[in-house]
């Protein structure tokens, strides 16, 4: 792991608003917290959804997500703890576990299942949905399992550890890079009494979600299990975080697509007609 001296920012973004997730269930009855809901899709374009899951009660996760379709976007599953088996109609199969990421580009369509491969213990992580630009919504599906050891990491002089899942932070390039949406996805571990700064292009929408401890941004506290939407301001070149206790959070940013978003469950397209086509293709076995 590399040690990095982080650059000081000219101006940090602040917190525009705090969001508390909504407890819900999905799949065959998996309990989760929907943090980024449909109402925030415009504000946090190109991101469509963020679910946080975390439980040591198998009843909350054991049923998993049996066969279901997706079209028109990418799903990024980050497993902090636990094991999940993935299978899809394109013939891909993989085991997602402890610190690993599964990045799936649904494109024109996949049908897949995500089933826990554990009967007890903790399952904790996130699923993030990233939109595809209109001209790429119908591309061939793609997917990659990224084991924890393949996720680039660095430590700052202050002792903050950063896992770079996507994009670039303090000169370290992440496991995945994407044009069009330019996603930045960091998992940041801050010991008590540390500060951390990373650049974010002023054009990007960005948010943080705290899953341990509490973080301060420009004097505003973001508590555990809260999302903080970072303000967009032309004079800000990134964000500076400080933690007075041991804190862990994800930071997510991306370049907005500024296109129409029409969602029907697992299909996210630009027009109602494209949604009808997706449903029709799914019903007639043409989606996968
Ligand atoms: Fe899925």
Domain limits, the chain? 2-283
**CA of residue 149 to ligand 1 center, whole Å:** 24
SS3 state at 171: coil
pLDDT in tens, 228-241: 999 999 999 999 99
**CA of residue 68 to ligand 1 center, whole Å:** 6
- CA-nearest of 188, 195, 159 to 249 is 188
Which pLDDT score, from 0 to 100, does residue 102 have?
96
**pTM as predicted:** 0.97
**CA of residue 77 to ligand 1 center, whole Å:** 9
**CA of residue 113 to ligand 1 center, whole Å:** 7
Q: Distance between CA 243 and CA 10 in Å, rounded? A: 20
**CA of residue 281 to ligand 1 center, whole Å:** 17
Q: Distance between CA 206 and CA 275 in Å, rounded? A: 28
**CA of residue 124 to ligand 1 center, whole Å:** 16
Which pLDDT score, from 0 to 100, does residue 134 have?
98
Which fold, 2-283? Jelly Rolls (2.60.120)
* Angle at alpha carbon of residue 36, lines to 209 and 269, rounded to 5°: 140
Exposed/middle/buried for 129, CB within 10 Å: 0-12, 13-18, 19+?
buried
**CA of residue 116 to ligand 1 center, whole Å:** 13
**CA of residue 265 to ligand 1 center, whole Å:** 11
Which pLDDT score, from 0 to 100, does residue 288 have?
79
Which pLDDT score, from 0 to 100, does residue 271 have?
98
Within the chain, which residues score under 70 in pLDDT?
A: none
């Amino acid at each position: 792991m590399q040690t990095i001296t982080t650059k000081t920012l000219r101006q940090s973004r602040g917190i525009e608003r705090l969001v508390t997730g909504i407890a819900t269930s999905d799949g065959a009855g998996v309990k989760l917290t929907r943090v980024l809901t449909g109402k925030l899709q415009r504000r946090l374009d190109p991101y469509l959804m963020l679910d946080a899951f975390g439980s040591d009660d198998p009843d909350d996760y054991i049923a998993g997500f049996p066969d279901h379709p997706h079209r028109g976007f990418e799903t990024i599953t980050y497993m902090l703890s636990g094991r999940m088996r993935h299978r899809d109609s394109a013939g891909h199969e993989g085991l997602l576990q402890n610190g690993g990421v599964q990045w799936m580009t649904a494109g024109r369509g996949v049908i897949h299942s995500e089933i826990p491969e554990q009967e007890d213990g903790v399952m904790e992580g996130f699923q993030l949905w990233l939109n595809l630009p209109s001209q790429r919504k119908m591309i061939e599906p793609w997917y990659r399992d990224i084991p924890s050891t393949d996720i680039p990491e660095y430590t700052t002089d202050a002792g903050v550890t950063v896992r770079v899942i996507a994009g670039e932070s303090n000169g370290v390039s992440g496991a995945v890079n994407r044009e069009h949406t330019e996603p930045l996805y960091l998992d940041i571990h801050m010991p008590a009494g540390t500060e951390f700064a990373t650049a974010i292009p002023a054009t990007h929408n960005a948010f943080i979600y705290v899953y341990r401890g509490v973080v301060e941004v420009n004097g505003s506290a973001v508590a555990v299990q809260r999302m903080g939407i970072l303000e967009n301001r032309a004079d800000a070149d990134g964000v500076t975080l400080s933690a007075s206790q041991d804190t862990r959070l994800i930071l997510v940013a991306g370049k907005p697509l500024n296109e129409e978003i029409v969602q029907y469950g697992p299909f996210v397209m630009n027009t109602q007609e494209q949604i009808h086509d997706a449903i029709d293709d799914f019903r007639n076995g043409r989606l996968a």
